[in-house]
Every structure is written in structure tokens, then in C-alpha cells.
Amino acid sequence: MSVPPTRSAPAPPPPPPETVPHLHRSLRRFDIMAMGVAAVISFDVLGQIAAGGGEAVTWIAAIAVGFLLPYALVFAETGAAFPQEGGPYVWVKLAFGRTAAALTTLFYWVTNPVWLGGSLVFIAAESWDGFVFPLGSGTVADYTFKLLFIWAAILTAIVSLRRGKWITTAGAAAKVLALAVFSGTAVAYGVEHGFRGLDHASFAPTTVGFLGLVPVLLFAYVGFEAPNAAGDEMHDPQRDVPVSIGISGLIATCCYLLPVLAILSAAPAGQVTGIGGFMDAARLVFAVYGDWSGPLLTTAAVLFVFALLTQGSAWMIVSDRMQAMTAADGGFFSRGLGAFHARLGTPVRMNLLSGITATLFMVAAMHLASGDAAAVFGVVLTVAITTLLLSYLAIVPALIRLRLRHAEVPRPYEVPFGTRGFVVCASLVYAWIVLGSWVALFPGTLEHLVGLRYDFADTWGVSRATFETFTLGTVALLLAVGALGLRGRRRTG
């Protein structure tokens, strides 16, 4: 007598989200979109991308289609289906448990104080020093500016979201305005002087160019799910999240493609640098304004620094909420770190911890390369790229698991072709993330594998030992901190 095959029981539905006290619903569709634009359009990577030459334009477009499109589709569906406060922390916890979620969130969160105290503050100081007021390098003025920049970003994250959202909205507007004015000015400069940069640029894609650009382009395109960290503070996340991701993704693609074209059209071949690319190109094209070029360039630099500041604060607003939810759930040292202020509705203690982390990283980076700002900028940006991309190694599989095991959850928006379409899109995104993570952690290894020449010191301005000390050392330190945080919580909880 044959026994009929048994069917595995369906997975239980996800537990209802815990109510977080002191939260206020203040984010509407426009606010979510503006927060996404403020966070994702990275002024600090424009020069780094443009340094890749004409083929950077080709790869911006190709990766927008091959990575950003499927990325936006899967995160739009998941963000609308699981809109709880904490965003990716909740998704990974539902899929793989608290330990995996805690470690993932740690990498996601720490990216932002590392980024704020690294590439953002360095490029802001470089721009202020060159176009507004001289600071010097390693001087009291230099340190003072960087400290003020870091803590101004933290304070904007501490204020209540109903007020803080207007700061990030102003930052998003400043970015789009600055990029539009710059691109238009570059066109006027090209009409008057000729588009000499584009005449000598090669748009043909190469393996070397691809491997050099893929980590920074992935870093530039990820993060549209970040506003979901404030899911319980949205009025209608199930309707607004998919639309906001779609619109902000389109804006971001244009805000990378057009300014990089403008930088390449104006800047002399081979002279675009990561730290000075945007403002150096602005210095050149603003010559079309004649006697007004100096004041306008200073104004542009101030706007540029403000946009960088709000970029940092937008990420602090969302990532600190994620990490606070982790702490409140018992996944990061003390539950007290997850407390939300009764009046402000913000995780003040986690905000302050981010400020301290950013300050310490800034001081460490100042001593990295003996004052070589360009080298420091490239290395500290790569540290931020590495930690963020590594977090998606758990987030993306979590999305697939939630789609397969919790298909009963209402999904106001669905990826075309249902579950099959979702899995294909998520798998494609995961392949990109794996590639970007490897190249960011071990640059030059794939080039050597395919027989291409790669001069590490010439590319990075530091030795491989120094580079890996900062990148792999940061990863090892984070794993240790995460383990201590979980262990400490178990002992006290």
C-alpha cells in the first residue's frame, strides 16, 4: 500500500509588527521621493565616476538597465508588502532570524557614519577650501570644519521627522538645481569653446573600465529602499513606496548621466579626479559668466557643500532608525540604544553614536595617507562602498525568501510575471552585488585573473597593505562588534 506524499505545511504568516512608541506619521509620497533623491544621488561619487572617462557614460546607462531596473522592481514590491518600521532589518529577521538581521543591519548602518566621516566630509572640506574660505590640510580650521559638518548632519537627524524631512527635501532640491545649472552651463561652455573633452573621449566599454567602475556605480544606485526604515512614519507606504522608488530611480539615473557627460565635455582628458571632479569642472565652465564667475562659483560651492550635508543627514535619518530597531529588538548591545525620544520621535542615542563613529573615522582617515587628500578620498569611499554592498548579500536573499514563503501577504504592487519574475530580478541583482563586493574588497584580482595589467599603487595612491588594512580591517572590526553586541544582549537580556 503506497503512502501518499506529504506536503510540507505552509510557512506561518509573519508576526504583526511591534508598535514603536513616539512615532508620528509625517511622510507622504513627495517626502519619500525627496528623501530617496537626497540619499541616493551622491555628489561625492560624480568625480569618481567621471574619472573613468567616456566609457563611464556607457556603464552608467548599462548598469541602470541591468541592475537598477530589477533592483527597483523587487524593492518596490517588498517595501509595499512589508512596510514596518526598520525596513531591511525586519525583512532579514523574518527571513533568516535575528542574528542574521542584526549583523546585516550593522553593516548597513555603519556605512553611513563611515561615509559621513570619510568621503562626504573630505570632499566638502576640499570644496570649501578651494572655493569659499581657505582651510589648509590638517589645520585647526580643517578639523573644525569637518567636525561642524559631521555634527550638523547628526543634528538634522535628531530633530523631529516632520521638521527634518524639509531639510532633506531642500537638499534634494539643491542637488537637482546644482546639477541642472552645471549641465546647462557646460553646454553653453561647449557651444562657445567646443566640446573638446567629448571629442577625445572613448565611449567603447572595456573590461578594465567595467571592473573599475562597477563598485562605485552600484553604490551610487542602491539605497532606494532606505526610506522604508521609517515605514511606520509614512501615511500610506503600500501605495507611495513603489511610485516613489520609480520616480526617484529615474531622477537619479538622469542626475548621474547628464553631469558626468558635462564633466567630461569640459575637463581636460585625464585630469578628472574623484575628489575634485565636479567643482574643478564647474570652475572651468563658469568662465562663461565673465565677471560673475567668481561669486557664482562660490555660491555653487556653498550649495554643493549643503547638498553633501543633507545627503549625509538623509542617510542618518533612515539608517539610525534601522539600527535603533535592532537594538530595541535585542540585537545590538543595550535596548536603551533603541529608544525613541518621547517628543522628537527620533532615536537620539543612536544618532549620537553615529556622530561619535563618524568623528573617530574622520580622525583615522586624516592619518591614513599623510595628508594626500585624493588618496584618502578614494580609500575611505571604498570602505563605505564595501560595507554597504556586503549588507545586501543578506538583504536580497531575504527578499526572495519572503516572496516564496509569505506569498499570502497582500502585495499592492507586484513584479511582472509574479514569483518567477521576482526571483529572476532578485537573482540578477544578487549577481551584481557579489561582483561589486569582490571588486571593492580585492581590487585588481579579477584583472590579474584575465591577464590585464593593474598597478595598485598608481591606481589608489596607497599600498595594497594600507588599503586592505582599512577595508578588510573595517569588515573584521564590524564582525567583532556585531558578535559582542549580540553576546552582550544575551547576557543582559
Predicted confidence (pLDDT) at residue 256 exceeds the cutoff of 80: yes
Of residues 184 and 44, more confidently modeled: 184
Predicted confidence (pLDDT) at residue 6 exceeds the cutoff of 50: no
Instruction: Give the phi and the psi of residue 236 in degrees, each rounded to 5.
Output: -145, 70
Computed over every residue of the chain, the mean pLDDT equals: 82
Comparing C-alpha atoms, which of 319, 388, 318 is closest to residue 119? 388
- Average pLDDT (240-252) is 85
- Average pLDDT (103-128) is 87
Predicted confidence (pLDDT) at residue 271 exceeds the cutoff of 70: no
Comparing C-alpha atoms, which of 110, 123, 139, 42 is closest to residue 356? 110
pLDDT of the residue at 273: 57
Q: Per residue in 424-474, pLDDT tens?
A: 999 999 999 999 999 999 998 998 888 888 888 887 877 888 888 878 888
pLDDT of the residue at 66: 94
Q: What percent of the chain has pLDDT over 70?
A: 88
Predicted confidence (pLDDT) at residue 484 exceeds the cutoff of 60: yes
| 84 vs 63: CA distance, rounded Å | 30
What pTM does this model have?
0.84
In order, the DSSP letters of 470-490 are HHHHHHHHHHHHHHHHHHHHH
